[in-house]
Structure 1
Amino acid sequence: MNEPTTKLPSGIAHAYWFQAFNAISWQTCTGSPLILFARALGASATALGVLVGLAPALTIMQIPASRYAADYGYKRVMLTGWSARVGVLGLLCLLPLGARVLPHDAVVTLLLAVMFSFCLLRGLATCAWMPWMTSIVPERVRGLYLSRDRTFINLASVIALFASGGLMTEHASMTGFALVFFLGFAGGAVSLAFLRRIPEPLSTTPRAAPAETADWRKILRDGPFLRLLAFSAVVQLSLSAHATFVLVFLREEVGFGDGTILWIGAGANLFGMLGLHMLGRHADRIGSRPYLGLVLAWWAVAIPAWFLIAIGAFESAGKIAIGLMIMGGYVGGCYELALTRLLMNTVASRPGPARYFALYAVVVSIIIATVPVAWGIGLDALRNFHAQAFGFQWNRYAILFAAESLSLFGIFLVLLRVRESRGESPAYMVQQIFVGMPSRGISYLMQMFR
């Protein structure tokens, strides 16, 4: 009787492969290559902020779509939206070639239009993914499922970024971008084949429909859910601009080339896989909060280090930046797995989980959409800012990293309020962060090099 609740469902491997090929599409067409392409066209920091903000902003479409997702069918919603989304990527492949004959400002405008359409379709479809996976994956193995899921994603991202770096190094700038975007288009097309083979949701009867009309007022009074939502919101308010403008900082201030930046990103994803391997079943046994505490401890080191690089406190800025990027990939993998697992377990037993997931995604995504735009406007305004203070030269990126560093205290306060129904005590959390996990990491690395 208990066996189904402790094993992953048959056919779940198709979900892993879908995520892998979708990650190739996402990394090449919406990740670092897209930012570098826009910058190569001369896009301003404000335009970059808008470009980065489109995907999270249009996640708001999950709210109206979630009302009909169960009736229409989670699988059908994903297939329809993802098929149209892949078609739009075909247009993206043409833009680098169009940049040879059109003014770059016009290409930036077309880029924003194409990505708006892409992100709109994505926003409508993604309301179905998390309820679908929560339905078919039992609670006791969700950490295991997520670790494998993220491992496939990270491995595919490594391959995509290494390939993109090679294409950008071997080909002229715009030709290289066209080939990178075509790689993303091909990955998206292949992902559809695996999406069709993922098992159907367990709750497919008409009786599931009333759950999808759960009262919004009840959701807004759900204490554990709201505390988790508050934590995610504060994290994104503090740090959602970081990844975008670190890329620009590496390119313009540290002096890294586009191909080098993509290769560093690949290395970061490779280390992210190490973090996912370490979590695995440990997250199901220990809980998510210990890993969120570990992530916050790393941010307390890494973000001030970026500030010190920006003011010129280190002579070997390039080497330190590479180390921060690589370790950031490891910690980022831990953060995404722990947070997603905690969200799934918090929402799974509620009526109408699609609305919980939609509300969570929309609130967090609106913040992700607006913060980079606001910082982009601010960094454009501070373009010529230079000041001498405490013996160091301050620039606009120093202001960004200083503000992020100060915001970490707010993240700590909201993390203290997050609760987990199945987790260890705070004392055990501290022991795992500073003793247990480092020892397991050393043991794993020793086994790799035997």
Structure 2
Amino acid sequence: MSAASPETPRLPPGFRNAYWFAWFNALSFQIVLSSPMVLYAKSLGASATVLGVVVSMMPLLVIFQIPAAQYIPRLGFRRFVYAGWGIRVAFIFGMAAVPLLGAFLDHGTQLALLLFLLFGFNLSRGISSCAWLPWITSLVPEAIRGRYLARDAAVVNLGSIMVFLLAALFLGSEPRPYQFSLLFAFSAVAGAASLSFLKRIPDVPVPQEPAGSTGEVPWGAILRHAPFQRILATVMLWAVVYGGMQAFPVAYLKTEAALSEGRILLLSATLYLGGMGSLWLFGSRLDAAGSKPVLALAFGVFVLILGGWWLMAGRALPASTALIMALLGSMGLFAASANMAFTRLAMASVPVMGRNHFFALFSVAWNVTQGVAPILWGMMIDAIGEFRARSLGVEWNRYSLFFAAAALVTLAALMSTRRLMEPKAASFEELLRDLLLRAPLKFWFRLWPRG
């Protein structure tokens, strides 16, 4: 690897700890916020609506970022995040005890206790996470933010692959309660390890408000900021889709495709393997091409992915391992790319003054929509129930209708990208030309024998 030129911006000393924090954090949160927790709740008899609540707590409770943002200057970025992350680790240790209480608690009571602990975990996370984006934005130079986000996503996805493989091998086909307990305990230990690296990330001073400020936050002015307003509209459409896709493909594979917990977790690892591909595909292109064309490409492909789920749920295509892996892998790749592009676009569009409140509102709009969505999707799926009708070679049932509706919302998000404001962004055609023509040519020129 060649040395960076003097003009190339550099990350501050000690920033590598942010990647180690991301690694151990991924080993922790993927267990309590994704498929393993959904499968445990399902083993306790949770309905689709309750599964929606389980998945939605994390994004919904981000709403507390808005009142919490004003307290960041009192503690500083690092102390604020560290305090919240430490509290949430304590809640994970509590979750590890729940599966062991089955000897004297029925499933309904265990599920209620689990929901209470998840609420505490996600509340502490929601409050403390308001300092994360302003902190990282202050640390990472603008010219290399896309590169940082791609590397961070690769680290998180690699950690997610590892933890899903571990969970799949550990739980097997018919997991016992103690196995879920040990898995949650592993999550707690990994979360505690992440805190040691979080404490070593360089801190920066919190930008001060201008002299003479009344202390009142001009939320109306923030919402009227045109570039920011359009980002919010697009990210909320995407959140409706992304929120549902975190829970109901797993529910479909368990209830309709009748796959075991271990096999579902093994297949779910493909989702994060695809997410790692975002580093290869967009690691350098995100800074060069901009976020707007990346979002358009991600949403366009996501419509096709949802079409594949629709055909499989509608029994027009068999639920084969190869098809499920292809859908999950491509879903992970383009969902990670869209999330990176949104974060980078927000970093570029938010002004320095009032940054904490801009990012708090951005996170709340994205996450609260993402939290409400699975509850509403779950209610829709429960309401459809056992309805089945066949037309155009496809069976219309609760899951095929869900995937079809999600595809329509993704189309709306795709149309919304045309209104995003990013002056330095390349066109969609230029991004496609680079992906389909220039990149393959560069690859072959490197392999071509010389001399």
TM over 0.5: yes
Aligned ranges 1:140-289 → 2 under 5 Å: 140-169=143-172, 172-203=175-206, 214-289=217-292
Cα distance in 2 for partners of 1:413, 1:65 equals 34
Q: Could you tell me which amino acid in structure 1 is paired with residue 385 of structure 2?
A: R
Aligned ranges 1:375-390 → 2 under 5 Å: 375-390=377-392
Equivalent position of 1:95 in the other structure: 98
1:240, CA displacement in angstroms? 2.1
Q: Tell me the secondary structure at the aligned position of residue 303 of structure 2.
A: helix
Q: Which TM-score applies when normalising by structure 1?
A: 0.92
Q: Could you tell me which amino acid in structure 1 is paired with residue 76 of structure 2?
A: G
1:17, CA displacement in angstroms? 0.6
Cα distance in 2 for partners of 1:205, 1:281 equals 33
1:41 aligns with 2:47: no
Equivalent position of 1:298 in the other structure: 301
Of 50, 54, 57 in structure 1, the residue corresponding to residue 57 of structure 2 is 54
Equivalent position of 1:11 in the other structure: 14
Bigger drift between 288-297 and 241-250 goes to: 288-297
Q: Is the 8 A contact 2:56 2:371 kept in 1?
A: yes
Bigger drift between 364-373 and 204-213 goes to: 204-213
1:264, CA displacement in angstroms? 1.6
TM-superposition CA deviations, 1:225-262 (whole Å, max 9, x none): 11111110111224421221000001111122111111
1:183, CA displacement in angstroms? 1.2
Equivalent position of 1:394 in the other structure: 396
Unmatched tracts of structure 2, length 5 or more? none
Distance 1:307 1:172, change over 3 A: closer
Cα distance in 2 for partners of 1:170, 1:371 equals 30
Cα distance in 2 for partners of 1:384, 1:268 equals 28
Alpha-carbon RMSD across the aligned residues, in angstroms, is: 2.5
1:99, CA displacement in angstroms? 2.6
Of 351, 357, 360 in structure 2, the residue corresponding to residue 358 of structure 1 is 360
Q: Is the 8 A contact 1:5 1:139 kept in 2?
A: no
Bigger drift between 270-279 and 147-156 goes to: 270-279
Q: Could you tell me which amino acid in structure 1 is paired with residue 197 of structure 2?
A: F
Equivalent position of 1:131 in the other structure: 134
Q: Could you tell me which amino acid in structure 1 is paired with residue 403 of structure 2?
A: F
Q: Tell me the secondary structure at the aligned position of residue 22 of structure 1.
A: helix
TM-superposition CA deviations, 1:358-377 (whole Å, max 9, x none): 10111122211111111111
Equivalent position of 2:34 in the other structure: 31
Q: Is the 8 A contact 2:173 2:262 kept in 1?
A: no
Q: Tell me the secondary structure at the aligned position of residue 395 of structure 2.
A: strand
Q: Tell me the secondary structure at the aligned position of residue 192 of structure 2.
A: helix
Cα distance in 2 for partners of 1:253, 1:208 equals 61
Cα distance in 2 for partners of 1:443, 1:16 equals 32
Unmatched tracts of structure 1, length 5 or more? none
Equivalent position of 2:372 in the other structure: 370
Q: Could you tell me which amino acid in structure 1 is paired with residue 399 of structure 2?
A: Y
Cα distance in 1 for partners of 2:263, 2:441 equals 32
Cα distance in 2 for partners of 1:206, 1:41 equals 50
Q: Is the 8 A contact 1:11 1:198 kept in 2?
A: yes
1:388, CA displacement in angstroms? 2.5
Bigger drift between 329-338 and 83-92 goes to: 329-338
1:106, CA displacement in angstroms? 0.5
Q: Could you tell me which amino acid in structure 1 is paired with residue 383 of structure 2?
A: A
Q: Could you tell me which amino acid in structure 2 is paired with residue 413 of structure 1?
A: M
1:439, CA displacement in angstroms? 6.4
TM-superposition CA deviations, 1:105-146 (whole Å, max 9, x none): 111101110000111101110000000000111101111111
Q: Is the 8 A contact 1:136 1:202 kept in 2?
A: no
TM-superposition CA deviations, 1:148-168 (whole Å, max 9, x none): 211111111111111111110
1:308 aligns with 2:345: no
Distance 1:88 1:295, change over 3 A: same
Number of aligned pairs?
444
TM-superposition CA deviations, 1:262-295 (whole Å, max 9, x none): 1122222123212213322221122122221221
Cα distance in 2 for partners of 1:221, 1:52 equals 31
Of 344, 348, 351 in structure 2, the residue corresponding to residue 345 of structure 1 is 348
